[in-house]
Amino acid sequence: MNVPLDRELIFSLQSGDVDALGALYDRHSALVYRTAYAITGDPDAASDLLQDVFVRLSRFAHRVDPRRPLEPWLYRMTANLAYTWLKRRKRWLHPLDDAMEWLLDSARERSLQQQAEKNAEAEQLHQAILKLPVQQRVVVVMYYINDLSLQEIAEILEIPIGTVKSRLHYGRQSLRKVLNLDADIQGEVICEFT
């Protein structure tokens, strides 16, 4: 995160420089798309939300504080628009293949059978994430996929840190229940996630 460059670009955008919006898009589009896709599970929706976030950045640039990092604003806007999309469409996530692969990836090579087992585990985990309530899902995605701290999530979603911890706790609890893990396997999965 290069706050000084973002600061200059936001000042330029606030002055009407459209090229600054393009530069901000180039710098931050991957994180916005990744977050939107992880929440919606729909690549088309994620692309649309990516565009919507940057249209709103352009429209509301005067409200963005250039002295503060831009990424929390982008996460918050992406999460809010994704919430709205989910409510409007009432759809659950589609496969998060890349995100699940990232969560379950191992440094060692796997045989074909091991790869098939990994894919089955990823799909099972993905289906479990799909069953989480949206508020828990967003916190789980931000914490595990976007690797944000509890404090960062609280600031982005504008909720108390205790609420973030609670949603994360209940999200983990729901994942364990849905995955039907016994005590031995639970410890391994939780250690892998944290």
Domain boundaries, the chain: 3-89, 97-193
The fold adopted by the segment(s) 3-89 is Rna Polymerase Sigma Factor; Chain: A (1.10.1740)
Structural tokens at position 111: 């045989």
pLDDT of residue 22 exceeding 90, the answer is yes
Q: Are 53 and 81 in contact (CB under 8 A)?
A: yes
Look-up of token digits 């460059």 = 5
Q: Which CATH number applies to 97-193?
A: 1.10.10.10
Helix, strand counts (H, E) of the chain? 10, 0
Higher per-residue confidence, 100 vs 55: 55
State the pLDDT at residue 114: 65
- C-alpha to C-alpha distance for 122 and 120, rounded to whole angstroms: 5
Nearest-angstrom CA–CA distance, 23 and 10: 10
Q: What is the pLDDT of residue 90?
A: 60
Give 5's pLDDT tier (boundaries 50, 70, 90): confident
Tens-place pLDDT, residues 166-187: 999 998 888 888 887 644 444 5
Nearest to 122 by CA among 147, 143, 97: 97
- Which percentage of the chain shows pLDDT scores above 70? 75
Kindly report, residue by residue over 92-151, the tens digit of the pLDDT: 444 444 445 545 554 444 555 666 666 677 777 777 777 888 899 889 888 887 888 999
CB-based contacts of 144, cutoff 8 Å, min separation 6 = 103, 193
Distance CA 113, CA 120 (A): 11
- Among residues 171, 178, 177, the alpha carbon closest in space to that of 194 is found at 171
